[in-house]
Structure 1
């Protein structure tokens, strides 16, 4: 049985959890249809599984022909400010725990020694072994976490360790432009996914963008990412690819309200009128993001759509655009967005959307085909710090407030989720939503849990290293000194 943890993503490159190769990605759809595919930037879906270099979860094995990016995420630990550390925020009392462990071992050792037990010699060996393991883990992943996890790859070649974050956005833009220019030469259809390191922390930009925005380093990072997007769009225009290319720009979550640097500067963004933020379960501040899309053949410029859609909709939408049929065995939660985007439909194809925190449903959203209201029923809410709407760093999906009875909101008139409605006035709406949630749960086919303790722990035999261990250092020669 899997041991569930509060951690909901891989925190070590050398862990074995990740996206199973049996899953079908939209890159695989495109590749099957004859498209050349590339991923530039973040791939936080696992790396190797059983041995170093098996690349079981690598993007090359998930439909991408080319990859230039990093296999984890951009973390505060990867920056130059030694006062900032995500690992220390997750394990703030590691030093006390280490001392306590040694005290317990010493007391046990003393008791065994005084009683003259036969197994004393074996216990001494155990004490030495446990001590060595504790010191090794402390050294490797508290002090040297950056060295072992800040990795930059080109396909399956480790080209930089640790990454130089200040030039990363310009390198990603250069790689994307180069990929597009090659497609003009070979005249092949393409799918390009760029997953920027901004504005995830650690925030670091080139000198050109440093200190130019009134919102500090976060604003600088937004400006540099905007520049990078502009480089790609300008290239599409220069290569006369605008009229036949879909551009889809969005984010994977709302602003991270708890994120501050060591000086207290806000580094996690702002969610406006929406309640909560990233990792807060189902409140809209963490799951509702604006999306900008451009596709001249089907989407009229200036079109504004205020209907519920999902990132899961990208998969069937791409399948439609590239005219690829989905396999009957695939269970698809997303909906094709083209009828909505083109104006053929005016109401979302989603009757219901289920909002998870980890593997637990926290809310359900209901969009009836008639009327304007979008209903949201929150069955669980974040367990915030007293008097605040934030958690310590991220909210724990297991440590939540169970809403009994559930909280019902009309998101059209109350997008800030400030005024829960009287359930007795909307019995039909509530019953429809509860039944849909029960049906959804019954339809789920259990899969192997990828974030259990055995899969997220660091495994030394999976640890990549550029050069000789334990120095593990190299610089991407293609861009060495180019953007400084």
Structure 2
């Protein structure tokens, strides 16, 4: 991928007996916006290969991620369970994502993923691309959180996510959030050193205090400067390799900078994969599912101020904005010729968690015979919608979380009416609908008077129901009751993103050439 913000992970699940059971190919894009591709009304970026999936299969207009950021969304997608049920929501700390490869938290081994179920049922399973659900538990190499611990026989990809620090263009997540951070830190470092020199003969206590301040500032600078080495890597099963961020063939090919170039590369990659399916004679025997883990990141900017985030079309908000449509409603396509008519459009609200039970249904796998057992699944079988036997969502309610707090409730009252009750809004900058670098769940504003939209008719969330009207009171009461009943059924589990799990640990740090942790890709040499 080029140095934009679009990545793909591919979950390749090849069936041993393809004549009776479908192969399954999942393409999940990182941070792809609702309006970034042609089949979702983008007219400035050509995406013919992605658009072919809509032409030959089904296009969902209300496909919803379980969270508006990567880690919890991917955990829910793989398990068909809300992330709060797995301790992957971030909890009260507001830590929504995994930040280091060398931290303990991750997707618990007790969770049953789609990969585990299909592996047990005779499928060959592979996971290629971004993971972002943890690596190790007690020591580097135990791989307790990696795809290999969750039903995938082969893994080649990134343990982390594509953050700014991975490139060689001076980008940094820290400076993006706090533009003057390094300037202030260097000022503290130089000032404390100068003060130590002045105070050396006057006060030993103040001298050592200033030296301590200088030491802390130095360690912070070293740690942040090494973040690229700590997190910028790909892994093949349990081995570490260099991370490749730049593919020059697509640079400057779009009208939308690095991000647009990334979308073009993404579409090319999808085309290559689909061509290979046709060459192998597997196109008609394979469920192809393409989606995004969350919406486009509106605040993403380069060092020159250029836009490097996605476009969410008519939707309000974006990535990390709790339950705003732009953060959770994502482009989603499914092609499977034996089941889905070409050109199908599905307007009913569905969840990305629905893929798990849908695949099992299409493959004829009895859920009761799998390791899922009696555990609560929040995903639903979509085959009635895909075949046209139903036009109504299999869900009555969907709950939109930001960490472990329900920010909104969606009530599918009937096939033509979907209510969305918004209990929280992001803490936007005054006069805008954006945050500085990213909106945090912990900073969201709780609304004393919730907002209610008929989201089926008001996709942009601009026309709330009149407060105090009979319709408002009826919908609010029903959704509050559903939320309370849902929360009562959510059992407490260990939080995977507590401070003790969250901190960087040297003993868990992957490294390919100690003590330097540097390596090269033979095709694209990029010494660090």
TM-score range, shorter chain: 0.7 to 0.9
2:237 corresponds, among 122, 133, 155, to 155
Please name the residue that 1:18 is paired with.
106
Quick one: structure 1 residues 48 and 99, their matched pair in 2 at CA, closer, same or farther if it must change by over 3 Å? farther
Quick one: structure 1 residues 328 and 388, their matched pair in 2 at CA, closer, same or farther if it must change by over 3 Å? same
* Residues 1:377 and 2:400 aligned together: no
Q: Give CA-to-partner distance per residue, 1:118-157, whole Å, 9 cap, x none.
A: xx89x96x987786565334203x2121122101111111
Please name the residue that 1:258 is paired with.
299
SS of structure 1 residue aligned to 2:235? strand
SS of structure 2 residue aligned to 1:320? helix
Quick one: structure 1 residues 133 and 97, their matched pair in 2 at CA, closer, same or farther if it must change by over 3 Å? closer
Cα drift, residue 49 of structure 1: 1.4
Q: 1:401-420 residue pairs with structure 2 within 5 A?
A: 401-420=445-464
Please name the residue that 1:87 is paired with.
174
Q: 1:37-186 residue pairs with structure 2 within 5 A?
A: 37-82=125-170, 84-90=171-177, 93=181, 96=184, 132=215, 135-140=218-223, 142-160=224-242, 163-166=243-246
Quick one: structure 1 residues 396 and 299, their matched pair in 2 at CA, closer, same or farther if it must change by over 3 Å? same
Give unpaired runs (5+ residues) of structure 2: 1-89
Q: 1:337-356 residue pairs with structure 2 within 5 A?
A: 337-356=382-401
Q: 8 Å contact 2:177–2:436 — kept in the other structure?
A: no
Please name the residue that 1:429 is paired with.
475
Q: 8 Å contact 1:29–1:324 — kept in the other structure?
A: no
Q: Give CA-to-partner distance per residue, 1:77-132, whole Å, 9 cap, x none.
A: 101111x211333465366468669969x89xx9xx97x9xxx89x96x9877865
Q: Give CA-to-partner distance per residue, 1:137-178, whole Å, 9 cap, x none.
A: 4203x2121122101111111122xx1212xxxxxxxxxxxx
Q: Equivalents in 2 of 1:460, 1:128: separation in Å?
A: 24
Q: Equivalents in 1 of 2:440, 2:261: separation in Å?
A: 30
Q: 8 Å contact 2:297–2:309 — kept in the other structure?
A: yes
Q: Give CA-to-partner distance per residue, 1:40-78, whole Å, 9 cap, x none.
A: 110100011111211111110111111110100111110
TM-score (norm 2): 0.75
Please name the residue that 1:283 is paired with.
324
Q: Give CA-to-partner distance per residue, 1:371-411, whole Å, 9 cap, x none.
A: 51110000111110000000011111121222121101011
Q: How many residues align?
A: 424
Q: 8 Å contact 1:3–1:453 — kept in the other structure?
A: no
Cα drift, residue 428 of structure 1: 2.2
SS of structure 1 residue aligned to 2:103? coil
Please name the residue that 2:52 is paired with.
none
* Residues 1:35 and 2:123 aligned together: yes
Q: Equivalents in 2 of 1:24, 1:367: separation in Å?
A: 28
SS of structure 1 residue aligned to 2:398? strand
Please name the residue that 2:511 is paired with.
465
Which gives a bigger RCO, structure 1 or 2 (Cα 8 Å, sep 6+)? 2
Please name the residue that 1:169 is paired with.
none
Quick one: structure 1 residues 257 and 213, their matched pair in 2 at CA, closer, same or farther if it must change by over 3 Å? same
Please name the residue that 2:8 is paired with.
none
Please name the residue that 2:62 is paired with.
none
Give unpaired runs (5+ residues) of structure 1: 167-205
Larger Rg: 1
Q: Equivalents in 2 of 1:6, 1:127: separation in Å?
A: 33
Q: 1:193-272 residue pairs with structure 2 within 5 A?
A: 206-272=247-313
CA RMSD of aligned residues (A): 2.6
Please name the residue that 2:433 is paired with.
389
